[in-house]
């Protein structure tokens, strides 16, 4: 497997720092208690379980699902507003830089095994996360609210592997009393989490690409997000090497499946790709433009 270059190492450092900042309450993993400070009411951009013993912030998906419980009395303005603002500013750069579970998936993919490359099937499967968003994140809480009077967070309860790995398993290990009360649902989620983690060994970011509803939300904003990868239209020849190189199911740079990692810049034969994160701003002294100008002289 190709060794990571300097830019990739910097991105992984940011991923690691994000995970540590999100879970700064490291003592919680030893005591099995949850952090209850004021910051717990503030969303973090990435997928990070509220019930993780180390978590000092809230997961935007969890906040959104729980906000549906108040739908009869008020709109989920904070949760929706946070997702809108983050989506417009960052898009899926959150997935590439600020998501601890995305970081874990990339580490698992580094394990030397045969890998399943992207293909027509994986591209179609990438639409599954939008279905999960509609059914488990939005539909299930709203339906259960009006049927039973209580909004049940379907994604958190039945599927979320981050909640199981970061929250459920550490809490059960640290609390003997919890081990006596676990039942089928916990066993179900552990099995789901293990299958997803195993899949990530063979498939690059399998959960992120096919199942993550938070990625689906940010993907909707990718075409208009302020931060992204720059492409010099004058230098680009449309060879498509960047798209073929990308391990995500992208159709183009800054498309809905692009996580803004910028690794495609290394394979562009024309140096037309600049991972500087301002896709709509091209300055005259940009390196890609300078090279093109030097080539013409």
pLDDT digits (tens, 9 = 90+) for 25-83: 999 998 989 999 999 999 999 999 999 999 999 999 999 999 998 888 888 999 999 99
Whether residues 179 and 248 share a domain: the answer is no
Give residue 276's pLDDT.
65
Q: Find the mean pLDDT for residues 166-188.
A: 90
pLDDT tens digit string along 112-165? 999 999 999 999 999 999 999 999 999 999 999 999 999 999 999 999 999 999
Q: Find the mean pLDDT for residues 201-208.
A: 98
When pLDDT is cut at 50, 70 and 90, the band that residue 111 belongs to is: very high
Give residue 133's pLDDT.
98
Q: Find the mean pLDDT for residues 183-192.
A: 94
Whether residues 99 and 242 share a domain: the answer is no
**Domain-located, residue 210:** yes
Whether residues 24 and 64 share a domain: the answer is yes
Give residue 290's pLDDT.
41
**Domain-located, residue 108:** yes
Whether residues 59 and 111 share a domain: the answer is yes
Domain limit, last residue, from 221, 255, 278: 221
Whether residues 158 and 185 share a domain: the answer is yes
Give residue 43's pLDDT.
97
Identify the residue whose tokens are 């896709």.
279
Whether residues 47 and 121 share a domain: the answer is yes
- Can you give the residue range of the structural domain that contains 258? 230-296
Domain limit, last residue, from 169, 198, 221: 221
**DSSP at 168:** I
Beta bridge partners of 43: 58
Whether residues 124 and 239 share a domain: the answer is no
Domain limit, last residue, from 163, 188, 221: 221
Whether residues 14 and 93 share a domain: the answer is yes
Which class for 114: exposed (0-12), middle (13-18), buried (19 or more C-beta within 10 A)? exposed
Give residue 177's pLDDT.
85
Whether residues 206 and 271 share a domain: the answer is no
**Separation CA 204–CA 113 (nearest Å):** 12
Q: Are 206 and 188 in contact (CB under 8 A)?
A: no
Whether residues 272 and 214 share a domain: the answer is no
**Domain-located, residue 139:** yes
pLDDT tens digit string along 234-262? 899 999 999 999 999 999 999 999 999 98
Is residue 3's pLDDT more than 60? no
How many domains are there within the chain? 2
Is residue 198's pLDDT more than 50? yes
Give residue 236's pLDDT.
92
User: pTM for this one?
Assistant: 0.89
Beta bridge partners of 273: 231
**Domain-located, residue 1:** no
pLDDT tens digit string along 259-273? 999 899 989 999 998
Whether residues 61 and 197 share a domain: the answer is yes
When pLDDT is cut at 50, 70 and 90, the band that residue 180 belongs to is: confident
Whether residues 193 and 238 share a domain: the answer is no
**Domain-located, residue 59:** yes
**Separation CA 51–CA 72 (nearest Å):** 26
């Amino acid at each position: 497997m190709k060794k990571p270059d300097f830019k990739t190492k910097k991105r992984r450092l940011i991923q690691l720092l994000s995970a540590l900042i999100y879970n700064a309450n490291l003592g919680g993993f030893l005591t099995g208690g949850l952090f209850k400070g004021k910051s717990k009411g503030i969303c973090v951009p990435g997928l990070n379980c509220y019930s993780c013993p180390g978590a000092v912030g809230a997961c935007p998906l969890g906040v959104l699902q729980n906000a549906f419980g108040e739908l009869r009395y008020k709109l989920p303005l904070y949760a929706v507003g946070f997702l809108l603002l983050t989506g417009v500013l960052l898009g899926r750069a959150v997935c590439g830089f600020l998501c601890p579970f995305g970081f874990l998936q990339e580490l698992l993919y580094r394990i030397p095994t045969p890998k399943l490359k992207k293909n027509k099937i994986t591209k179609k499967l990438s639409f599954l996360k939008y279905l999960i968003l509609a059914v488990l994140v939005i539909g299930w809480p709203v339906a259960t609210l009006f049927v039973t009077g209580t909004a049940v967070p379907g994604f958190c309860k039945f599927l979320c592997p981050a909640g199981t790995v970061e929250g459920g398993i550490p809490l059960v290990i640290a609390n003997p009393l919890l081990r006596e009360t676990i039942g089928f649902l916990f066993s179900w989620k552990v099995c789901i989490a293990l299958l997803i983690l195993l899949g990530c060994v063979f498939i690059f970011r399998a959960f992120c690409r096919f199942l993550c509803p938070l990625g689906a939300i940010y993907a909707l904003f990718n075409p208009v997000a302020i931060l992204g990868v720059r492409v010099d239209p004058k230098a680009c020849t449309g060879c498509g090497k960047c798209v073929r190189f990308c391990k995500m199911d992208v159709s183009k740079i800054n498309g809905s499946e692009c996580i803004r990692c910028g690794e495609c810049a290394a394979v562009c034969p024309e140096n037309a790709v600049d991972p500087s994160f301002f896709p709509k701003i091209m300055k005259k002294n940009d390196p890609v433009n300078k090279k093109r100008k030097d080539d013409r002289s």
